[in-house]
């Protein structure tokens, strides 16, 4: 075996922060460029959806190389016919794993379908499933988020020894992800191998919520938005002054954020 392809120990390109090992905030000019386009007031369909797809496709490939287990294989190539050395010896993703992708309607519909399709290329499709979970913010008369309403689900089986993946573009308060993971832990049979959330943007408030409620969840995001933080916090490593970090306005929308991802994805402004 070529030593170059054993013990790969894949490393993400991440920004420095003090939130802990389970929080992964990617360092990628390419992805930052896509987010800049996604957040533009000028963008409309169909380009908006295509940018979301591109961002999630790239982010998922980076994250998948990091969180999935690997296996060593000895696979003949088409050159095996001519040379005994015509075999690939090395590590690939362990394609025997079980995976469950959870569509958090409505903003999560497109990224969930994309990741579900990607998983079917590299795993045995019999071990890949997409669930549908209907959860939404509950707001008061002032437009403030006061909870999460769960209105239904389509869950196709257990989660025993599965990677359970939640793609949700905006990690704002963390309420929806927290309640969704809680539901799977308590209501769905089996013990998951790992819970994973994948976001375009997250906030300090989101990080605090998930770390408190589900410290076992691995969080991957393209960007951390904390635009309403103090100057001292903004000039320091993220997580150094957590009490002075803020990414949400009074209505729990992310600043700078992107604004209305679910609305724009569906062209439905309710």
Q: pLDDT tens digits, residue range 178-189?
A: 999 999 999 999
What was the pLDDT predicted at 13? 96
CATH number, domain containing residue 183: 3.40.50.2020
Partners of residue 220 on adjacent β-strands? 24, 198
pLDDT bin (cut points 50, 70, 90) of residue 145 is low
Of residues 8 and 232, more confidence is placed in: 232
Partners of residue 223 on adjacent β-strands? 201
What was the pLDDT predicted at 150? 67
pLDDT bin (cut points 50, 70, 90) of residue 125 is very high
Q: Structural domain tally of the chain? A: 1
Over 60: is that where the pLDDT of 144 sits? no
Average pLDDT over residues 74-98: 92
Apex CA 214: angle with CA 145 and CA 100, to 5°?
Answer: 95
Over 60: is that where the pLDDT of 20 sits? yes
What was the pLDDT predicted at 253? 93
Over 80: is that where the pLDDT of 270 sits? no
Average pLDDT over residues 102-120: 93
Taking the alpha carbons of 193, 72, 116, 33 in that order, is the dihedral positive or negative?
positive
Q: pTM, whole model, 2 decimals?
A: 0.92
What was the pLDDT predicted at 153? 84
pLDDT, the chain, mean: 92
What was the pLDDT predicted at 241? 98
What was the pLDDT predicted at 24? 98
Are 60 and 68 within 8 A, CB to CB? Answer: no
Apex CA 160: angle with CA 173 and CA 66, to 5°?
Answer: 60
Percent of the chain with pLDDT over 70: 93
In this structure, what token pair is assigned to residue 226? 């904390």
Supply the range of the domain harboring residue 184: 3-266
Give dist(CA 255, CA 267) in Å, integer.
22
Give dist(CA 220, CA 31) in Å, integer.
13
Q: How far is CA 220 from CA 25, 196, 231, 235, 250, in A?
A: 6, 8, 25, 23, 25
């Amino acid at each position: 075996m070529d030593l170059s392809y054993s013990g790969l120990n894949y490393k993400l390109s991440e920004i420095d922060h003090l939130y802990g090992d389970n929080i992964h905030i990617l360092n990628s000019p390419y992805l930052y460029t896509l987010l800049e386009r996604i957040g533009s007031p000028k963008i409309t369909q169909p380009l908006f959806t295509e940018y979301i797809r591109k961002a999630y496709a790239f982010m998922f490939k980076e994250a998948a190389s990091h969180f999935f287990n690997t296996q060593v294989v000895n696979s003949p190539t088409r050159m095996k016919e001519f040379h005994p050395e015509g075999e690939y010896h090395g590590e690939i993703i362990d394609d025997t794993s079980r995976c469950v992708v959870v569509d958090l309607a409505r903003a999560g519909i497109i990224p969930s379908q994309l990741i579900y399709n990607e998983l079917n290329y590299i795993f045995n499709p019999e071990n890949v499933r997409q669930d549908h979970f209907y959860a939404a913010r509950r707001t008061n008369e002032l437009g403030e988020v006061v909870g999460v309403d769960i209105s239904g689900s389509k869950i196709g089986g257990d989660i025993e020894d599965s990677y359970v993946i939640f793609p949700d573009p905006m990690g704002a308060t963390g309420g929806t992800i927290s309640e969704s993971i809680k539901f799977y832990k308590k209501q769905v049979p089996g013990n998951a191998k790992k819970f994973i959330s994948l976001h375009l943007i997250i906030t300090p408030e989101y990080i605090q919520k998930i770390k408190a409620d589900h410290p076992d969840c691995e969080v991957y995001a393209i960007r951390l938005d904390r635009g309403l933080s103090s100057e001292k916090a903004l000039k320091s490593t993220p997580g150094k002054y957590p009490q002075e970090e803020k990414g949400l306005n009074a209505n729990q929308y992310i600043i700078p954020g992107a604004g209305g991802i679910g609305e724009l994805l569906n062209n439905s402004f309710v």
